[in-house]
Amino acid sequence: MNICNREGGRCAEMAMVCLTDFEEYAKEHLSKATWDYYAAGADECCTRDDNLLAYKRIRLRPRILRDVSVSDTRTTVQGTEISFPVGIAPTAFHCLAWHEGEVATARATEALNTCYITSTYSTCSVEEIVAAAPNGYRWFQLYVYRDRKLSEQIVHRVEALGYKALVLTVDVPYTGKRRNDIRNQFKLPPHLKQETAGPEDYGIPANTLDPSISWKDVYWLQSITRLPIIIKGILTKEDAELAVEHGVQGIIVSNHGGRQLDGGPASIDALSEIVDTVQGRIEVYVDGGIRTGSDVLKALALGAKCVFIGRPAVWGLAYKGEEGVREVLQILNDEFRLSMALSGCRNVAEINRNLIQFAKL
């Protein structure tokens, strides 16, 4: 983002201070169709917008005089230590935002030692991603295709490449209705075509996702892989209990960034009942609407082990590729550390539900 000095004719680069700065830059510099694709919510975008507003309804209850001269943001997910509890959620088509696409995202998350969930609909191959960031900690987002053999091949491919978990995304039996994408007739540009060509729904090959997917497919997946299975897209205590009963290793509380069912709960509002139901038997994570370090703190106080960001990573890519994603993550890390200290928490273990209250409407 440049500010021009008219007298001298020089342009000074403006500091990117918060995630909103990256959002404004991306909106200004991406094509309208690309911006609309990333920004889209389903139908009237009520759930998309509520993902952000819900965090503002939560207030912190800071403790004081706690000696916060030293703070530690490290945590673990699935037994692996990461530098702070923010990872990258699976988001499609990174090459639309930056020519290096997912390769740049992978390098950034490797540099900050956190978790990157690679999307099924990446515009770089999983082999390219691993080669670019060989020491990165990665999970792979999986959709179950009508052609189970195709899904099985993908699972074996990412397992062989060293991916550490499968994130089974369960809230897309059909793609939600995103009005601007329909108006724009959004399609991937020809040079970004994926391995499966043919008619598309929002850039995804038509009729590939299987609407008949059910809990029995979790057992099928367990039969073909030894990787931990994390279910993404749970919003109710009933489904959280079923997930535990089916032996999965984690849940990502998620409404798909408000891109699927409009009128569902904000993901942060659904988190508490799921944490209370799971009772520590498996790890619970959340995505959707995280824009500040205090949002991260609130999510952890409500019981999330880690949060994942989607759109902000794309904004970082649009700004400066790998460097932009690193800046986005670093800002969140710095803000989270500051929010922890100002709330009287010296490490992640000290964050608990006593730290928050809900604002009175």
Residue 178: helix, strand or coil by DSSP? coil
Q: Please check if 119 is assigned to a binding site.
A: yes
Q: Please check if 92 is assigned to a binding site.
A: yes
Q: Please check if 187 is assigned to a binding site.
A: no
Q: Please check if 294 is assigned to a binding site.
A: no
Q: Which residues of 27-126 form beta strands (DSSP E)?
A: 58-60, 75-77, 80-82, 86-88, 115-118
Structure tokens belonging to residue 206: 């038509």
Is 156 assigned a catalytic role?
no
For residues 91 and 310, the answer to whether their CB atoms sit within 8 Å is yes
For residues 296 and 86, the answer to whether their CB atoms sit within 8 Å is yes
Structure tokens belonging to residue 29: 């510099």
Exposed/middle/buried for 252, CB within 10 Å: 0-12, 13-18, 19+?
buried
Q: Please check if 178 is assigned to a binding site.
A: yes
Catalytic position from the list 29, 94, 191, 256: 256
- Strands 200-201 and 10-13, by their bridges, are unpaired
Q: Please check if 288 is assigned to a binding site.
A: yes
Q: Please check if 254 is assigned to a binding site.
A: yes
Contacts of 122 (CB under 8 A, 6+ apart): 92, 93, 94, 101, 102, 129
Cα separation, 241 vs 78, whole angstroms: 19
Amino acid at 261: L
Q: Please check if 232 is assigned to a binding site.
A: yes
Cα separation, 224 vs 185, whole angstroms: 38
Q: Which 3-state string (H, E, C) describes 269-320? A: HHHHHHHHHHCCCCEEEEECCCCCHHHHHHHHHCCCCCEEECHHHHHHHHHH
Q: Please check if 291 is assigned to a binding site.
A: yes
Q: Please check if 37 is assigned to a binding site.
A: yes
Q: Please check if 90 is assigned to a binding site.
A: yes
Q: Please check if 343 is assigned to a binding site.
A: no
- Binding-site annotation, residues for glyoxylate: 37, 143, 178, 256, 259
- Binding-site annotation, residues: 37, 90-92, 119, 141, 143, 169, 178, 232, 254, 256, 259, 287-291, 310-311
Residues marked active site are found at 256
- Binding-site annotation, residues for FMN: 90-92, 119, 141, 169, 232, 254, 287-291, 310-311
